[in-house]
Structure 1
Amino acid sequence: MEKKVEIMPRMRDLKKGKKVEFPIDKVCTVRNNVSLLNAQGYKNGHKWRSETNVPKGIVTVFRDS
């Protein structure tokens, strides 16, 4: 049985300047969640971004502010 990856809680709980990695097959979900978090956190000055590393097969999410 495949282990379930809790994406949104892990991204939301990131501290400023930290990062978290997810498998590349979750790229659509991760990017959608980054957009949602940025929309929700706009007034508070919170900002997330994601980077995809295809050779390594990971998507990295960064909490910038």
Structure 2
Amino acid sequence: MTPQFDEDTRKALESLRNSVAKALDRKRRLGQYAVVWKDGKSVYIGPNPPEPKKPTRSDPARR
């Protein structure tokens, strides 16, 4: 079920969605990767993402 928003909120969300779509399209055309939030984690999308960092002893414990 899609939540119902008032007109100002709907316009703000539409503006944000359009801005994100434009930014991701620009990165795609420039051949750059982007970082997005998916399934509770940050993930890279697009070409040539950096290699995942391996945890070291100085990194905080991951739980």
TM-score (norm 1): 0.34
User: Of Structure 1 and Structure 2, which has the larger fraction of its residues in strand?
Assistant: 1
Of structures 1 and 2, the larger Rg is shown by 2
Q: Which has the higher contact order (CA 8 A, sep 6+)?
A: 1
